[in-house]
Amino acid sequence: MYFEKQIQGEFAKPNKDFFDGDIVIIKSEGEKRLAKKFKEDEPDRFQNIFEADINGRKMLIKFNGTSLNNMIEAYGNESKEWIGKEAKVWIKEQLVGNKIHDVAYFAHPKAECVKGEDNRLRFELDEKYVKVKKPKDAK
């Protein structure tokens, strides 16, 4: 069986290591890791983990699905091409499970965070910065 070394380091925490409006610089192509299960019968979930320069410190960040889609739209499908690119941070309080948490979202620094009619967050990026267009039926 073939193994690769895992990214090592300290995970950055929203509102402790980075804040709303901060700019981070992506330093690795990232990796998928199996996430911890909270219930035995729940399906496997994966975390998208990247090294980043956060205010001069090399730390690990997790991209949720929204952040991953934002990065693909801005910088393309190949995460190796994200290395050295900037991402702006938005931190929002959200219900995760049964607790309120500070959730970090990452997107192109020129993106804007807006709430849709369905009350979900959306990140809009001017066409001149878009590398991969969203499908027409995407929300």
Whether 6 is covered by a domain: the verdict is no
Whether 7 is covered by a domain: the verdict is no
Whether 101 is covered by a domain: the verdict is yes
Q: What pLDDT is recorded for position 100?
A: 92
State the total domains in the chain. 1
Q: What pLDDT is recorded for position 38?
A: 62
Query: What are the phi and psi torsion angles at 96 (to 5°)?
Result: -125, 115
Whether 13 is covered by a domain: the verdict is no
How far does CA 20 lie from the centroid of its chain?
A: 13
Whether 10 is covered by a domain: the verdict is no
| Model pLDDT for residues 79-118, shown as the tens digit of each residue | 999 999 999 999 999 887 788 999 999 999 999 998 888 8
Given a cut of 70, the residues of the chain with pLDDT beneath it are 37-39, 134-139
The model's pTM is 0.85
Q: What pLDDT is recorded for position 37?
A: 63
Whether 103 is covered by a domain: the verdict is yes
Which range of residues forms the domain containing residue 110? Answer: 23-129
Whether 137 is covered by a domain: the verdict is no
Whether 1 is covered by a domain: the verdict is no
Which has the closest alpha carbon to 26: 54, 66, 67, 65?
A: 54
Q: What pLDDT is recorded for position 10?
A: 92
